[in-house]
Amino acid sequence: MGWLLNAIPRWLAGQVAAALNRLWGLLSGTVLWVPDVTALPQVQRLTGTSLAVVNTGFVLAVIAAGVTVMTRRRCRSATASASWDRGWWWRLWRRTWPGRSPAG
């Protein structure tokens, strides 16, 4: 009697799995079908325009970063006072340990 109680749920599970597989095949072939839109000229034009905009933005960002790095020192030295010493760390060192050099 135990073999019958084991066989019925196995058979029923197999039938349910087969029905779900058939249903999934039907849905994937009809309702879930997605057309290939990459061949449309409007999509190709939009893709090309988007690619050009992104590439231009990337190039402008790299140029802006380069200009910032190249002019940082010049802008800093142009705004510094004429009696510019070695920086805040030098003033702190001289105030904390008078008469000693930070180099040695």
Q: What is the pLDDT of residue 35?
A: 82
Q: Identify the DSSP state of 72.
A: H
Percentage of the residues of the chain whose pLDDT score is greater than 90: 43
Cα gap 67→48, rounded to integer Å = 29
Looking at the whole model, is its pTM more than 0.75? no
Please report the pLDDT score of residue 82 as a whole number: 44
Residue 81 has pLDDT above 60, yes or no: no
Rounded to whole angstroms, how far apart are CA atoms 101 and 104?
6
CA distances from 4 to 1, 13, 14 (A): 5, 14, 15
Pairwise pLDDT comparison (9 vs 96), residue with the higher score: 9
Q: What is the mean pLDDT of the chain?
A: 82
